[in-house]
Structure 1
Amino acid sequence: MNHGQLVRQLRDLGVVAGGVLLVHTAFRAIRPVEGGPDGLIDALLAAIGPDGTLVMPSWSGDDEQPFDPARSPAAADLGVVADRFWRRPGVRRSAHAHAFAAYGKLAERVTADPLPLPPHIPQSPVGRVYELDGQVLLLGVGHDADTMLHLAELIASVPYRTPARLTVIENGRPVRLRYAENNHCCERFAQADDWLRAAGLQREGPVGHGHGRLARARDIVRLATAHLAADPLLFLHQQGAGCAECDLAR
């Protein structure tokens, strides 16, 4: 799949030139593409154009070591594209452990907030994408990877939290922070597919050799918070269903 074909696919899917685009991707589902992971990033940047802003998750996932935005690799489960993205010239990366990386016109605004606890509060990179009426693009992954749904949980004040921790530097010394996070297995985030499709608010189609989903961040949050208002536990597996993460959240 060459560069021009990728850009056409992204634009056909509905990626907006000049917009803010938050991308979650599994490159193994998209490859092979011309230029590899960097080729995919180049196509995403071309699709949003010079006035757009590209955003990707960029946390390290290492709770024991202080996060260094200039050195800490992106967590393995974020994929090779996310790890390549933050290393590119001109990309800004949050200066905290729940980092996202961004490139473009609004990159500083997306990444400027201090450490958000829990990670996806409105004053976080995900919250800024929502505030800026950005789009969410899922490439080769489903809504179980969609961090925008964690923002929806917090806006809806879901009644569950699990213990979490991380290490930061204070006064030159490592300090352990403990906090409560709206965390669970995220499998039931897949319900967002049904809600968005039924409302005609999700575009789907081929990107590279994989499948893409595209929706406005505000649509994702609006539909999710409406469903959470009716059932605040709908993203959790039933008690005793064999999901230890959801049982802990309950």
Structure 2
Amino acid sequence: MTISGTAWPRTRSSLAADLRRLGVRPGSTLLVHSALRPLGWVCGGPHAVVLALRDALGPDGTLVVPTHTPENTDPATWRNPPVPREWWPVIRDEMPGFDAAATPSRWMGVIAEAVRAWPGARRSDHPQVSFAAVGPRAEQVVGGHARADMLGERSPLARLYELDADVLLLGVGHDSNTSLHLAEYRRPDPPRERVGAAVRTADDGREWVWWEDVALDESDFDLLGEDLDTAGLVRAGEVGSAQCRLMRQRDAVDFAVRWLAANR
């Protein structure tokens, strides 16, 4: 949003106050899905937003963000845009191997990328759906992220569930709520698919690897989210100019397990 579209500057202190008003718990673990533009004009940009989030969480809180790399996937599945079939072998042979320390996140927004690069941040070692975290529980959240259980019981999402974390949708909708994918893994016999990505090797080279994983589908997450809102499990409010939602992750995942059983 431009300056002309913002009634008053959004600042570190004003955003922190909005976050506290919404219900961000000091000392909690908070998974944030975000977009900067809906907040309005922010003095200090994404850096100020991260500072505000950390202020609201306090020194005992842990901030977690998705730092996914969706371009590091099998090109045969690309749809937006698709690539010619003759390109597929080239992409599989030449895509740089995922490096948790250096590979930037893509399509997760500038706030998530700021957290990824934050001093002391820890990042999980998954070539497609990594998460980054800052705070005392960062390693507990991101450590041991299994390649073949990418958003399941051996992923940061399950660690967040164990920690009774909160989820903040900061200017984005339920279609960005990655925690709902954990519910897909908790369905009986979920559909599975072959997945591929480029990874680093022990000798600092790279290779393309394949594995089998749950076939993820967020196409109905907006509908799921509407029912989650209606069930009274979500706190809604404004942070800056953005419409935001805050929820306990356990409540959202448990609701989604029941919802998927009834609606898929």
1:68-147 matches, within 5 Å, as: 68-75=99-106, 77-97=107-127, 98-147=129-178
User: Does the 8 A contact of 1:192 with 1:220 survive in 2?
Assistant: no
Aligned-partner Cα distance in 1 for 2:42–2:194 = 40
What is the DSSP-based 3-state SS (H/G/I as helix, E as strand, rest coil) of the residue aligned with 2:223? helix
Q: CA deviation at 1:197?
A: 2.2
Q: Which amino acid aligns with 1:58?
A: T
Query: Which piece of structure 1 moves more, 114-123 or 82-91?
Result: 114-123
Instruction: Indicate the residue corresponding to 1:16 in structure 2.
Output: 25
Tell me the CA shift for residue 183 of structure 1: 4.2
**1:23·1:139 contact (CA, 8 Å) conserved in 2?**
yes
% identity of equivalent residues: 40
Counterpart of 2:118, as a letter, is: R
Amino acid at match of 1:201: L
Secondary structure class of the residue paired with 2:253? helix
**Equivalent position SS for 2:147:** coil
Q: Which residue of 2 aligns with 1:206?
A: 238
Moved over 4 A (4+): none
Q: 1:35-46 counterparts in 2 under 5 A?
A: 35-46=44-55
Q: How far apart are 1:171 and its partner, in Å?
A: 4.0
Distance 1:134 1:14, change over 3 A: same
Residues 27, 37 of structure 1: 8 Å contact kept = yes
Distance in 1, matches of 2:113 and 2:185, equals 27
Which of 224, 238, 248 is the equivalent residue of 1:192?
Answer: 224
The separation in 2 between residues aligned to 1:171 and 1:228, in whole angstroms, is 40
Q: CA deviation at 1:176?
A: 1.9
SS of the residue aligned with 2:54? Answer: helix
Partner of 1:238: none
Unaligned runs of 5+ in 1: 234-250
2:181–2:218: 8 Å Cα contact kept in structure 1? Answer: no
Question: What is the aligned counterpart of 2:58 among 44, 49, 57?
Answer: 49
Residues in 1 aligned to 2:47 and 2:34: alpha-carbon distance in whole angstroms:
13
Alignment RMSD (CA, Å): 1.7
For structure 1, which segment, 36-45 or 118-127, has the greater mean C-alpha deviation from structure 2 after superposition?
118-127
Residues 1:7 and 2:9 are matched in the alignment: no
**Does residue 1:221 correspond to 2:253, yes or no?**
yes
> How many residues are aligned here?
231
**SS of residue matched to 1:214:** strand
**Partner residue, 1:239:** none
Q: Are the aligned partners of 2:184 and 2:216 in contact in 1 as well (CA < 8 Å)? A: no
Deviations for 1:160-201, whole angstroms, at most 9, x for unmatched residues? Answer: 234321122334242322234444562310123332222211
CA distance in 2, matches of 1:135, 1:114: 20
Computing the radius of gyration over CA atoms, which structure comes out larger, 1 or 2? 2
- Find the counterpart in structure 1 of residue 179 from structure 2: 148
1:67 alignment partner in structure 2: 98
* Contact in 2 for aligned 1:118/1:179 (Cα 8 Å): no
Structure 2: give runs of 5+ residues left out of the alignment.
1-9, 73-94
Partners of 1:26 and 1:159 lie apart in 2 by 31
1:158–1:228 Cα contact (<8 Å) kept = no
The match for 2:6 is none
Distance 1:117 1:2 in 2: 41
SS of the residue 2:148 aligns to: coil
Does the CA contact (< 8 Å) of 1:18 and 1:50 recur in 2? Answer: yes
Asked whether the 8 Å contact 2:224–2:259 carries over to 1, the reply is no
Cα deviations by residue, 1:69-91 (Å, 9 ceiling, x for unpaired): 1111111x101111111111111
